Amino acid sequence: MADPDTLIVGGGIIGAACARALAATGQRVLLIDAGSKPGAATAASAGMLAPLADTHGQDPLLSLRIRARDLYRELVPALEEETGIEIGLWTDGIVQVAFTAADADRLKGDIAWQRQQGFPVDWLGADELRARCPGISPEALGAHLSPEDGALEPPALIDALIRSATARGATLRRGERVEDVVIEGDRVIAARTAGGRIEAGQVVIAAGCWSGRVGGLPRPLSVEPVRGQMAALEWPPGEPRAIVFADHGYVLTRGGEAIVGSTMEHVGFDASVTNEAINRILTNARRVYPALELAPERRRWAGLRPGTPDGRPIIGCDPQVPNLWYATGHGRNGILLAAITGQIIAALVSGQPVEHNVSPVSPARFWTEP
Ligand SMILES: Cc1cc2nc3c(=O)[nH]c(=O)nc-3n(C[C@H](O)[C@H](O)[C@H](O)COP(=O)(O)OP(=O)(O)OC[C@H]3O[C@@H](n4cnc5c(N)ncnc54)[C@H](O)[C@@H]3O)c2cc1C
């Protein structure tokens, strides 16, 4: 391939979404991915699209997160038709269950604020909740319902994005690690792998929690691994499909399984599972859904989310190297935000106006005075 216009470092969901969006603008794109690293976040993810269910209080990213979710209603059918890959988009809503009066008050407060912003969330009383989720604990007092939230299948989405990107001329090199980027003056001019040096017009760092480990960056990147542990149980036969948040954990139905999670652990790049955390997750899930009490456990795993100090992603150019881009730090919301991140990066890199307010995700927020 001739030198790429844009070289993307990292082929998780974020790199894949950026590759497709950039290739669609006519750019020559090269995506380099180190391959199946233990702990890669996308493969470990629950795949929820939960802009409202996973937010409390006045979140500056809420409207971006809503638009990110809604983008999938158009993108998924288009990708499925183009690639033949089923992405499993499900948008029948997420409930956050209250087990105490204090939980119920907090959730009703969220509903009040979210409805003021125009989002159609609602309170379900105990009977309405049980009609929707018959297997839920009889101790549940009610729930916050975000009726348009949902989930999709991250491995299928990534396959479809890569297939669509390559159909638009992008090249994928898997099993190769970018060791460093080469900066001259205020320009990044190349990246180096064990296979040699690759000149590129622009470079996008999308290497998940490993983004800060790419050599040669002009400044330390505020991205750190945040481990999330998960388990899969058999979903009780006859129980309707659901996504339920409660007690700092969640249960979602996917492919005949109950996917239960998760933890938020700062343990460095250690992607192992621990009995203690898995037991806690299972106890929580069985409290929420007593029907899971006897369900056999099928798998357990962990992934490393790319976290940032303020919980918001880092999307945009380096303050002093304007052709070096960051698309990383998506924390708990990387599946939700992948497609919109691709759109934003494609617009920024090709000098087009961005439709969204991206100041809350600006890379400069960590390095310059406000
Ligand atoms: C347990 C768990 C549950 C989650 N649930 C949800 C959810 O329900 N909804 C949601 O929206 N988000 C969820 N997330 C978060 C989401 O999965 C992540 O934010 C997202 O997958 C991050 O994608 P990424 O492409 O940045 O990183 P990754 O998927 O980790 O991909 C990074 C890629 O970069 C490659 N790489 C690293 N270094 C280099 C290098 N030097 N050169 C080349 N390649 C390199 C790696 O091999 C890897 O393939 C969850 C995460 C976890 C762990």
**Closest residue CA from atom 8 of ligand 1:** 48
User: Measured between alpha carbons, how far apart are the two ends of the chain, in Å?
Assistant: 42
Query: Is 225 a pocket residue for ligand 1 (Cβ < 6 Å)?
Result: no
**The pLDDT of residue 32:** 98
Answer yes or no: is pLDDT of 57 > 70: no
> Measured in angstroms, how far is the CA atom of residue 41 from the centroid of ligand 1?
3
Report the residue among 14, 20, 42 best suited for mutation to probe ligand 1: largest number of ligand atoms under 8 A from its CB: 42
Answer yes or no: is pLDDT of 250 > 70: yes
Query: Is 228 a pocket residue for ligand 1 (Cβ < 6 Å)?
Result: yes
pTM to 2 decimal places: 0.97
Query: Is 328 a pocket residue for ligand 1 (Cβ < 6 Å)?
Result: yes
**The pLDDT of residue 54:** 66
Distance CA 21, CA 255 (A): 29
> Measured in angstroms, how far is the CA atom of residue 265 from the centroid of ligand 1?
15
> Measured in angstroms, how far is the CA atom of residue 298 from the centroid of ligand 1?
23
**Closest residue CA from atom 21 of ligand 1:** 42
> Measured in angstroms, how far is the CA atom of residue 108 from the centroid of ligand 1?
32
**Closest residue CA from atom 22 of ligand 1:** 334
Q: Which CATH class is domain 91-148+224-307?
A: alpha beta
For the record, the structure tokens of 117 come out as 């912003």
Distance CA 42, CA 11 (A): 10
Instruction: Please name the residues in contact with 292: beta carbons below 8 A apart, sequence gap of 6 or more.
Output: 135, 233, 236, 251, 258, 260, 285, 286
Query: Is 14 a pocket residue for ligand 1 (Cβ < 6 Å)?
Result: yes
Every domain of the chain and the residues it spans: 6-46+155-223+310-366, 91-148+224-307
Query: Is 211 a pocket residue for ligand 1 (Cβ < 6 Å)?
Result: no
Split at pLDDT 50, 70, 90, the class of 58 is confident
**The pLDDT of residue 53:** 77
Answer yes or no: is pLDDT of 369 > 60: no
3-state secondary structure 339-354: HHHHHHHHHHHCCCCC
Higher pLDDT, 314 or 35: 314
Answer yes or no: is pLDDT of 153 > 60: yes
**Closest residue CA from atom 31 of ligand 1:** 12
Query: Is 261 a pocket residue for ligand 1 (Cβ < 6 Å)?
Result: yes
Report the residue among 37, 71, 152, 198 best suited for mutation to probe ligand 1: largest number of ligand atoms under 8 A from its CB: 37
User: What's the mean pLDDT in 229-252?
Assistant: 93
Residue type, 214: V
For the record, the structure tokens of 119 come out as 């989002």
**The pLDDT of residue 274:** 98
The predicted-structure confidence for 214-223, as pLDDT tens digits, reads as follows 999 999 999 9
For the record, the structure tokens of 305 come out as 């989310």
Answer for the pair 289, 249: CB distance below 8 angstroms, yes or no.
no
Split at pLDDT 50, 70, 90, the class of 1 is low
Q: Which atom of ligand 1 sits closest to the CA of residue 193?
A: 42
**The pLDDT of residue 128:** 96
Answer yes or no: is pLDDT of 324 > 90: yes
Query: Is 33 a pocket residue for ligand 1 (Cβ < 6 Å)?
Result: yes
Query: Is 37 a pocket residue for ligand 1 (Cβ < 6 Å)?
Result: yes
Answer for the pair 260, 232: CB distance below 8 angstroms, yes or no.
yes
User: What's the mean pLDDT in 295-322?
Assistant: 96
**The pLDDT of residue 245:** 94
**The pLDDT of residue 356:** 87
Answer yes or no: is pLDDT of 365 > 80: yes
Query: Is 178 a pocket residue for ligand 1 (Cβ < 6 Å)?
Result: yes
The CATH number of domain 6-46+155-223+310-366 is 3.10.450.50: no
Q: Over the chain, what is the mean pLDDT?
A: 94
Among residues 170, 158, 159, the alpha carbon closest in space to that of 24 is found at: 170
Split at pLDDT 50, 70, 90, the class of 79 is very high
Query: Is 260 a pocket residue for ligand 1 (Cβ < 6 Å)?
Result: no
Which segment of 27-31, 117-121, 344-348 scores lowest on mean pLDDT?
A: 117-121
3-state DSSP assignment of residue 222:
coil
> Measured in angstroms, how far is the CA atom of residue 313 from the centroid of ligand 1?
12
